[in-house]
Amino acid sequence: MPAKRHAASTTATPVPVAPATLSSGPPTLKTNASAAAIAQHVWEQYLANTPQRTLLLDAFMAFLVLVGGLQFLYCVLAGNYPFNAFLSGFSAAVGQFVLTASLRMQTSDSGSGSSSKPSSKGKNARFVDEDNQEQVSGTSHERAFADYIFGSLILHFFCINFIN
């Protein structure tokens, strides 16, 4: 049951990647375009505007979602007999996905950083956001990547230890 929620949330994530680029990219679409045309356009925009590195990360994330989804499907269909193994496999996928998402946030900072700003409403958010900005952009790409490796090492150590 709880695992289901994982799967639901993870499978949905590749979709929102697109609108973020849409907002930054030049919209040349007509207002009455069909859904397929919009999707097509969004996809092209995404391919055109995303740097190579981020594309790589996105591909990796999509792969992880696939792996996690497959494991979950197996668990539902064929039973969860080696529960330790399933759990460590699945949480390896989820954990790696989450870490990669974090890395993506830190490295492609301009996109996600600015888009988070308008969403934070409320009176108190005002003087917090200034801090957000400087601190998120404060982490260099190398530092973010080192952190990522550190986190991944711990994650996979735990998974291997847990696999029985």
15 binds other proteins (CB under 8 A): yes
Look up residue 105 and give its amino acid: M
Instruction: Return the structure tokens found at 49.
Output: 């505007």
Q: Given the structure tokens 């792969």, which residue do they identify?
A: 63
Closest CA to 109 of 137, 139, 86, 133: 137
Please report how close the Cβ of residue 30 comes to other proteins at its closest, in angstroms.
Answer: 21
26 binds other proteins (CB under 8 A): no
For other proteins, the binding residues in 73-102 under the rule CB under 8 A are 83, 87-88, 91, 94-95, 98-99, 101-102
Choice from 26, 48, 127, 142 touching other proteins (CB under 8 A): 127
Choice from 26, 52, 77, 122 touching other proteins (CB under 8 A): 122
Alpha-carbon span 103 to 139, nearest angstrom: 11
Instruction: Return the structure tokens found at 158.
Output: 């735990």
Please work out the total of residues on this chain that contact other proteins, with binding judged by CB under 8 A. Answer: 62
